[in-house]
Amino acid sequence: MTTAALFILLFGCMLIGMPIALALGLSSITTILFFSSDSLASIALKLFEALSEHYTLLAIPFFILSSAFLSTGGVAKRIIRFALSLVGHIRGGLAMASVMACMIFAAVSGSSPATVAAIGSIVIVGMVRAGYPESFAAGVITNAGTLGILIPPSIVMLVYAAATEVSAARMFMAGFIPGLMMGGILMLAIYIAARIKKLPAMPWMGFGEVLAAGSSAFGGLMLIIIVLGSIYGGVASPTEAAAVSAVYAFLVSIFGYRDVGPLKEVAWRNQGEGVASAVLRNCARSIQAIPRCLNDPDVRKIILDASKVSIMLLFIIANAMLFAHVLTTERIPHHLAELIIGWGLSPWMFLIVVNLLLLMAGNFMEPSAILLIMAPILFPIAVKLGIDPIHLGIIMVVNMEIGMLTPPVGLNLFVTAGITGNSIGWVIRACLPWLMLLLIFLIIITYIPQVSLFLPEFLDKLHGYQ
Rounded CA separation 99/105 (Å): 10
CB proximity list for 45: less than 8 A, separation 6 or greater: none
Alpha helices (H) along 198-288: 207-216, 218-232, 238-251, 275-281, 283-288
> Is 202 within the bounds of a domain?
yes
Least confident of 87-101, 272-286, 374-388: 272-286
Rounded CA separation 142/405 (Å): 8
Rounded CA separation 398/117 (Å): 20
In the prediction, which pLDDT does 262 show?
64
Counting beta carbons within 10 angstroms of the beta carbon of residue 236, is it exposed (0 to 12), middle (13 to 18) or buried (19 or more)? middle
Rounded CA separation 31/26 (Å): 8
> Is 422 within the bounds of a domain?
yes
Tens digit of each residue's pLDDT (9 = 90 or more) over 215-242: 888 887 888 888 888 887 778 888 888 8
Rounded CA separation 144/405 (Å): 11
Tens digit of each residue's pLDDT (9 = 90 or more) over 65-102: 888 887 775 777 888 888 888 888 888 888 899 999 88
In the prediction, which pLDDT does 268 show?
42
Is residue 319 a contact partner of residue 25, using CB atoms and an 8 Å limit?
yes
Rounded CA separation 49/55 (Å): 11
Using only C-alpha atoms, the chain has a radius of gyration, in whole angstroms, of: 23
Mean per-residue pLDDT for 364-389?
85
Residue 344: helix, strand or coil by DSSP?
coil
DSSP one-letter string for 271-306: TTS-HHHHHHHTHHHHHHTHHHHHT-HHHHHHHHHH
pLDDT at 275 over 60: no
> Is 29 within the bounds of a domain?
no
In the prediction, which pLDDT does 239 show?
83
What are the φ and ψ backbone dihedral angles of 24, each rounded to 5 degrees? -65, -45
Tens digit of each residue's pLDDT (9 = 90 or more) over 109-126: 777 888 888 888 888 888
> Is 113 within the bounds of a domain?
yes
CB proximity list for 281: less than 8 A, separation 6 or greater: none
In the prediction, which pLDDT does 165 show?
83
Tens digit of each residue's pLDDT (9 = 90 or more) over 240-265: 888 888 888 888 887 777 776 666 65
Buried b (16+ CB within 10 A) or exposed e, 80-111: bbbbbbbbbebbbbbbbbbbbbbbbbbbbbbb
> Is 157 within the bounds of a domain?
yes
> Is 15 within the bounds of a domain?
no
In the prediction, which pLDDT does 269 show?
43
In the prediction, which pLDDT does 271 show?
47
Per the structure, how many domains does the chain have?
1
What is the Cβ-side half-sphere exposure of residue 174, based on CA atoms within 13 angstroms? 28
Ramachandran sector of residue 292 (left: φ over 0; alpha: ψ -120 to 50; beta: rest): alpha
Q: In whole angstroms, how far apart are CA 83 and each of 43, 279, 443?
A: 50, 23, 29
User: DSSP code of 91?
Assistant: T
In the prediction, which pLDDT does 174 show?
92
AA letter at 265: E
Using alpha carbons only, what angle is made at residue 19 by residues 17 and 25, rounded to the nearest 5 degrees? Answer: 120
Rounded CA separation 401/435 (Å): 10
In the prediction, which pLDDT does 180 show?
93
In the prediction, which pLDDT does 75 show?
78
Q: In whole angstroms, how far apart are CA 313 and each of 50, 64, 434?
A: 13, 10, 28
Domain containing 105 equals 50-465
Is residue 150 a contact partner of residue 401, using CB atoms and an 8 Å limit?
yes
Ramachandran sector of residue 387 (left: φ over 0; alpha: ψ -120 to 50; beta: rest): beta
Is residue 323 a contact partner of residue 372, using CB atoms and an 8 Å limit?
yes
pLDDT at 399 over 90: yes
> Is 37 within the bounds of a domain?
no
pLDDT at 389 over 90: yes
What is the Cβ-side half-sphere exposure of residue 80, based on CA atoms within 13 angstroms? 20
Rounded CA separation 206/199 (Å): 21
Q: What is the mean pLDDT of the chain?
A: 81
Q: Around Cβ 279, how many Cβ atoms within 10 Å?
A: 16
In the prediction, which pLDDT does 185 show?
93
> Is 32 within the bounds of a domain?
no
Is residue 103 a contact partner of residue 151, using CB atoms and an 8 Å limit?
yes
Q: Which of 309-323, 359-373, 414-428 has the highest mean pLDDT?
A: 414-428
**Mutual angle of helices 168-197 and 155-164, in 10-degree steps:** 140
Alpha helices (H) along 343-423: 347-362, 367-384, 389-403, 411-420
Q: Is the pTM of this model over 0.85?
A: no
